[in-house]
Amino acid sequence: MNRKIAEFAVHAVADRVGLSVQGRIIPDADGAFCEFVPADGHPNETFVVRFRLGWRNAEASFVAGNFAGPLIESMGKCSDEARKTFTAFANGIEARRVKLQMRVNGTEVVAGRPATWPQHWSLLELSLKLTPLVVELGNDAQLERLILDLVVPLFGMMATLIGVEENELVTTGDTEGRSVQSLITRYERKKVNREACIQLKGSRCSVCGFDFAEKYGHLGINYIEIHHVKSIASLGPDYGIDVATELEPLCANCHAMAHREEPPVSLERLRLLVEERRKAMSV
């Protein structure tokens, strides 16, 4: 573990989740691990995320502060929209064969089935683990990939459960992505939804199949634009996005074509047009 990887994680969480965090490297008997804490909160009252490399595994875990009871209780009372977004994260994570373990009040629960969660929360444990895994300590590209696969989605899930309180009204632009105030820090709801969509549906264009990583290598990893199936202009400021059914990953070209008409061109029609052109060019 090194400072460069910790800094990468800090920037990745800010860029992809919109959450400002501070990171540090802590030596231990096994070498060292990274610990990240929301910048505007004290670890005792909020939480830390620990990223640790083990023997043939890597793990990111949520650790609540000693006085984080009110925060945990509020997480258990999160909105239906938040539960749907959390489910999108959970289903996407498990589809990549990452082991997701969630315990509430000391009892293991199914992360992707919020209807089965206890009504009142006093204790929360959550971890993401990849195993078996051969970790090359000098391979920064592999470590950065692990940050994107474990640390970033874990922070996304936390931001989803914490919920938001509006503190300003933006009258222009994308209302679904306006700036909001969480219980511990500021983050953008739009970024959390975007990350949940990528975790669930991947970063390959759902219309033409274009993948930025295949074209541009490391620079394009996990890059994609996110399309609202329903026109943003038709949504009220309090509308709750369902990530699983209302957001789709699109490349820049397909995204632009979707918005050539109002209401947006359906993805089914775009797929048909792309397939027709492919057939015509293959003759």
* CATH number among 3.30.930, 3.40.50, 2.60.40, 3.40.630, domain 3-162: 3.30.930
31-38, strands of its sheet edge to edge: 21-28, 31-38, 47-54, 57-64, 124-130, 99-104, 107-109
Alpha-helix residue ranges (DSSP H) falling in 37-126: 69-75, 80-95
pLDDT of res. 187: 45
pLDDT of res. 173: 37
Alpha-helix residue ranges (DSSP H) falling in 123-188: 140-146, 152-162
- In angstroms, the CA 151 to CA 44 distance is 20
Identity of residue 254: C
Collapse the DSSP code of 14 into the 3-class scheme (helix H, G, I; strand E, B; otherwise coil) and give the result.
helix
- In angstroms, the CA 201 to CA 76 distance is 26
pLDDT of res. 183: 40
Report, as ranges of residue numbers, the positions in the chain whose pLDDT lies below 50.
165-187
pLDDT of res. 236: 61
pLDDT of res. 234: 64
Query: How far apart are the two ends of the chain, measured CA to CA in Å?
Result: 53
Q: Where do the domains of the chain lie?
A: 3-162, 202-282
pLDDT of res. 176: 41
pLDDT of res. 237: 62
